[in-house]
Structure 1
Amino acid sequence: MYVPFDELPASARLWIYQANRPFTDAELTALQPALRQFAADWTSHGRTLAASADILHRQFLVIGLDEAVADASGCSIDASVHFVRGIEEQLGLQLLDKSKLAFLESEQLLLLDRRELRSAVAAGTIQAATLYFYNTISTVGQLRAAWPAPAASTWLARYFQPVVS
């Protein structure tokens, strides 16, 4: 059962898939019916799921599930990953690659390879207050409250600690 994303409860489970490039206007328009259809048809062991899917910041595919209605099973999660892979193939982009970190700097989304993080912090490109898209958050409430969040308030905090000699 499709639920508009902004009507999901704060407790709804969340999956975030980061694209390796922004979605184009044409892609966003073409994807909307497919996202809605996926959410409407998504089931778990024959039970209807109260779900939604949307694109945020032109870069992130988010899937939300109200587990108070019914929770996802391994098979239904596999079905969602299959759906995401289909989008990758259809649009020629990557959504399952976790090697890039996303930051918001001066209203621009910056993708940074994980291996470049330490040098970007040292150079001042990424600072403690730089907004970071922490894509492993697990609820819609977390998304609404602090996504993106200042880098120093996430797992990246250790990169901003003073070096003790």
Structure 2
Amino acid sequence: MYVPFDQLPASARVWIYQANRPFTEAEIAAVQPALRQFAKEWTSHGRTLAASAEVLHGQFLVIGLDEAVADASGCSIDASVRFVRGLEEGLDIQLLDKARLAFLLDGQVQLLDRLALRAAVAEGRLQPDTPYFNNTVATYADLQQQWPAPARATWLARYFAAAATPPA
């Protein structure tokens, strides 16, 4: 059962898939009917799921599920991943690659390879207050309140602490 994304409850579970590049306006318009159809038809062991999907910040596909109605099973989560893979193939975009981190710099989503993180902090390109898209947030409330969040308020805090510690 499709639920408008902005009407998901705060407790709704979310899955965030980060694209390796921004979606074009044409791609977003073309994918909207598929997102709605997926949410409408998504089931778990024959039970209808109250779900939604949306492209946010032009670079993230977010699927939301109201688990108070019915929760996702392993099979239904597998079905959502198959749907995402289909989008990847149809749009020639990567959504399942976890090798890059996303930050909001100068109003734009910018990706950084995980291996370059330490150097970016040391060089000052990333600051403790740089907005970071922590794609592990679990609920719609967290998505609304902590996505993006200042890097210092996420698991990245240790990188800034290490950069601030003078060598012995």
Sort the TM-score into its range (normalised by shorter chain).
over 0.9
Using the alignment, how far apart are the partners of 2:107 and 2:76 within structure 1? Answer: 35
Counterpart residue type for residue 34 of structure 2: A
Give the corresponding residue for 1:163. Answer: 165
Structure 1 length as normaliser, TM-score? 0.99
Q: Which residue of 1 aligns with 2:69?
A: 69
Q: Which residue in the other structure is 2:93 paired with?
A: 93
The one-letter code matched in structure 2 to 1:151 is A
- Count matched residues: 165
Shift of 1:129: 0.3
Per the alignment, in what secondary structure is the counterpart of residue 70 of structure 1? coil
Q: Which residue of 2 aligns with 1:104?
A: 104
CA distance in 1, matches of 2:34, 2:108: 27
Runs of 4+ in 1 over 3 A off after TM superposition: none
The answer for unaligned runs of 5 or more in structure 2 is none
Mapping for residues 12-161 of structure 1, pairs under 5 Å: 12-161=12-161
Relative to the length of structure 2, the TM-score reads: 0.97
C-alpha distance in 2 between matches for 1:13 and 1:57? 19
Aligned-residue offset at 1:58:
0.4
Provide the C-alpha distance between the structure 1 equivalents of 2:120 and 2:156, rounded to a whole number of angstroms.
12
User: CA offsets per residue over residues 50-83 of structure 1, 9 Å max, x none?
Assistant: 0000000000000000000000000000000000
Q: Which runs of 5+ in 1 are unaligned?
A: none
Cα offset, 1:108, TM superposition: 1.3
CA RMSD, 1 decimal: 0.7
Shift in Å, 1:112: 0.2
Deviation at 1:122, TM superposition (A): 0.7
1:89-146 CA deviation, whole Å, 9 max, x = no partner? Answer: 0000100000000000110111000000000001111110000000001000000011
The one-letter code of the counterpart of 2:93 is L
SS of structure 2 residue aligned to 1:61: strand
